[in-house]
Structure 1
Amino acid sequence: MNPSTCNVLVYGGGAVGAIFGWRIAQQSHARVSVVCRSNWNVVSNHGYYLRTSTWGNGRFRPRQVFQAGAIAELTDKHRFDYIVCSNKVTDGYTSALQDLQPLVRPDTTLISAQNGMDVEVPLRKAFPNNTVLSAICNIGCGQVRPGYIEQTAAIKRPAFLIGVHSPSSRGHNVDASRRDALAAMDSKFAATECITGERWRKLIFNSAWNGTCAITGLDTRQLLEYPGAAEVVIQLADEAYKVGVASGIDLDPRLPMKTIELAQDSAPITPSTLQDARARRPMELSPIFGESSRTSYFTALLTSIGYLVEQAARVGTHVPYLTWIYTLLRLRNSAYVAEQAVVEPLQRSFAAVEELSSTIVSSGMSAEVM
């Protein structure tokens, strides 16, 4: 790595990627570029506006803003020391890896800053000799509209926890050195030697709260106002904890109760899955639950819970609450997918009519009523 500069590419310009990149960019030696999808036009022209409870407010203008699927031609012009993958796992890792393949050099470090379990595996398989790190986000944040990021909740310190996913061919010392260099870029970042246990801790929290919030339509504070709601959350957390222990993971036995305490001590948390549910968008289910789906965080949630349900079957653990909420989420998700199948063709038809009308007006044509 060049000692004078550190070139960083954030692949996935949503809320997590924007905040992670913004904080790294505060270092004078860091040069941060971002790859965006739907918000590319706004971010490329105006950058990001950020309102956060952890760092205050700020403006972030990435050094360069690329469009996903159109960065291969930049191979010879850019060399990145770190590539941070903060794209949704449901967006399809194949296209992301195709974008990244020509950009990854032997000394490039890759970081997965995504929700769910085993999200680092595609990076490790695609780049077996590179350092692969895992970053866990412990804040609640969202993109309220393209280019505008809000963070309202600090769920747990540090804001980002960074660890080595699996050893590379370069050895643990090199991997750990790159982890530590990244963790040193912000006072709210920290390094850990046990990233797998930390991923399970977050999985337990997400599986208990995200699904319950998505089903009820309530944020964490609203949910806790209902008698019996905390008991359901604890039961979900306890089942997820037991799956982790049965899988050989060393976990704090107080984790199920801490899942409630963290939410009680935090500002109200509106999980991204609840945002999707309120907007009636299909959910991210696969990294938590185990299915391979596309589009929203609702889908990723199904993935994570599906992962737990499948893992419970593998290790022989009874998980009635997780199975129940997984079934409800799948039914809700199917309804959203069906609605989207009706709405999207209508939206395309309206767009086509508007485009035709604009063409007629711009060309000076007039329509006669017969």
Structure 2
Amino acid sequence: MTRDGNFKKVVRRHAAETGQRYTDALTDLEGLGTRMDHQPVAERLLAHLRNHYGIDAVAATKVSVHKTYVFRIDRNDGDAWIARAFPPARPRTGVEGDAAILRFLQQHDYPAERLAVDDAVSDFDGSSVLVTRYVDGPPLPEGAEKFAIMGDLLGRLHALPYDESAGRPGGASGEDPSREGAPRQDLLAGLAFLDAVDTKVKPSDRERFERLRDQVRSADDGDGLPEGLLHGNLLHAPDHAIGGESGPVAINWKASGRGPRLADLAYLIWGTGHWHPSRRPNQEWIDAVVNAYREHLEPTDDELDRLEAMMYIRTLYLVCFSYRRAVSNDVPFDEWWFIEPSEYFAATAAATRAAFRR
């Protein structure tokens, strides 16, 4: 990334729009890849776990397509673990927060993965490692049943009582460790993804790029809406919810914390029809979410009125994330479907409001 006059203008604009000093904004944009990319060496991780916990760990196998730092740890002396050796840019306090939330969920018998040991966070090669018990189970069933399961998981989660131990801000994806926290952080991260490649955007793509920036800048971040404990990324099944021995289990709590509960629900509702070629609302799947969620909570009128706008938070983030990757690799960008057509968002939100108000 060059430091020519155009890029300096981008940095100054980014600083003004995100409330940062110029030097911090420069670090925000130039350090993106380093903060997010992390590929621990499996053998070194195994040696660390053997030394720190005294276990007979024999194999570390990557289990996630998207997260190169997540490993299944097989042992000769017990059941398998999951070890997440987070990027070094993620502070240990964030990983300790994950562990605190998992303890809270266990206290309330919520169906989440469990910590492998009491002392579940350790330091390894400049990063923090969280160990949990491996959940052996199949992906969730497809169709309406899957959305009923996820609607129930979210409803149960959002209805849990407030506890200070699980009170950190949450809801943002947090792939950039500097942008963990409330859903607004997804929008700020989206701006960073775009501004990081601003000077590389082709003239023919400039108009659409600027429209995307404006959409991110003006998006509803859920401020003022009722809050609850959020998972932050449940829709990414089978990665984040799987079938355990005693029923469905939610995993991967890095994005969890207190925030507007509609952020979780809106992302799930968006997912009910986004894969369908026609991009029309899937009423059966919407009803499955609504009927399961309302067993625990009823959204307020304000939440239902802002549902369509809130469906854009994570989807804009995903577009910006993918846009940066495409421009950086000089390949065409073809993932506008995350946020298009707008008619799908409006119709799906309307169908959901009608279902809740029946």
Normalising to structure 2: TM-score of the pair?
A: 0.31
Normalising to structure 1: TM-score of the pair?
A: 0.30
Structure with max Cα Rg = 1
Bigger RCO of structures 1 and 2 (CA < 8 A, at least 6 apart)? 2
**Which is strand-richer, 1 or 2?**
1
